[in-house]
């Protein structure tokens, strides 16, 4: 079994476990669970950051504060959505972002010819971005029975999720390129990388989409 197949099977197994946890765990469990994941993500970030800066310097402290705040966005927004709107809404936000990733990966692998941002992420293509937009929009439309969105709003949410998710991915890729690593860690099995690698596309999307739910 090749690397991509192993990684795909591992990702699907982790995704299935996450879906079951979201559907069957009481919402009150999510804040401490995400707080624990946040700690793992912050530890990874600090381990990578110390390759380039000293935490005893003003620059190092600034990077540490900025990273801590940035990483707090998804790990606060997701449990907030679960507590205020229900677990299925949190699942909706995760699905439209992460399945957007999968759509982009699939179309990018099959048809990717025109590079999106080669200096940051050489494997990303405009064709892959189209796949991300298509996948997230279809998933958003599939959740209309839950969200009760009109079609136009479901499409808007799908598009925004893909664009903001891609931006988060690029931000994490830029950081990893700066610290000269391929994966944030080897915490997850079968070459899936670390917590930062898993949550890269979710860096900004949950907080932005949570805000938009109330405003548009």
How would residue 191 be classed by pLDDT, with cut points 50, 70 and 90? low
157 within 8 A of 140, measured Cβ to Cβ: yes
Q: How many CB atoms lie within 10 A of CB 151?
A: 10
What pLDDT is recorded for position 1?
52
How would residue 112 be classed by pLDDT, with cut points 50, 70 and 90? confident
Separation CA 170–CA 183 (nearest Å): 13
pLDDT tens-digit readout, 14-41: 778 888 888 888 889 999 999 999 999 9
- The pLDDT of 53-62, averaged and rounded, is 93
Coarse DSSP helix, strand, coil percentages of the chain, rounded to the nearest 5 percent:
75, 5, 20
Separation CA 13–CA 205 (nearest Å): 23
- CA distance readout (Å), 16 to 9, 22, 23, 24, 60: 11, 10, 11, 12, 38
Rounded percentage of the chain residues whose pLDDT exceeds 90: 64
Terminal alpha carbon distance of the chain: 46
Q: Is the pLDDT of residue 189 over 80?
A: no
Separation CA 99–CA 164 (nearest Å): 13
């Amino acid at each position: 079994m090749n690397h991509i197949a192993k990684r795909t099977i591992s990702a699907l197994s982790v995704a299935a476990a996450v879906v079951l946890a979201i559907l069957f765990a009481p919402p009150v469990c999510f804040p401490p669970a995400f707080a624990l994941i946040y700690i793992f993500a912050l530890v990874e970030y600090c381990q990578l950051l110390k390759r380039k800066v000293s935490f005893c310097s003003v620059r190092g402290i600034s990077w540490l504060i900025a990273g801590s705040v940035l990483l707090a966005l998804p790990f606060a927004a997701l449990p907030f959505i679960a507590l205020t709107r229900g677990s299925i809404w949190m699942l909706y936000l995760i699905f439209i972002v992460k399945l957007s990733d999968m759509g982009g990966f699939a179309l990018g692998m099959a048809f990717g010819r025109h590079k999106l941002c080669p200096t940051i992420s050489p494997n990303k293509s405009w064709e892959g971005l189209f796949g991300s937009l298509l996948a997230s929009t279809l998933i958003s439309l599939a959740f209309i029975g839950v969200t009760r969105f009109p079609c136009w709003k479901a499409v808007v949410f799908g598009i925004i999720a893909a664009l903001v998710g891609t931006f988060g991915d690029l931000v994490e890729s830029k950081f990893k390129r700066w610290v000269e690593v391929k994966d944030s860690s080897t915490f997850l099995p079968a070459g899936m990388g670390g917590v930062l690698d898993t949550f890269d596309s979710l860096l900004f999307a949950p907080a932005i989409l949570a805000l938009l739910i109330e405003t548009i």
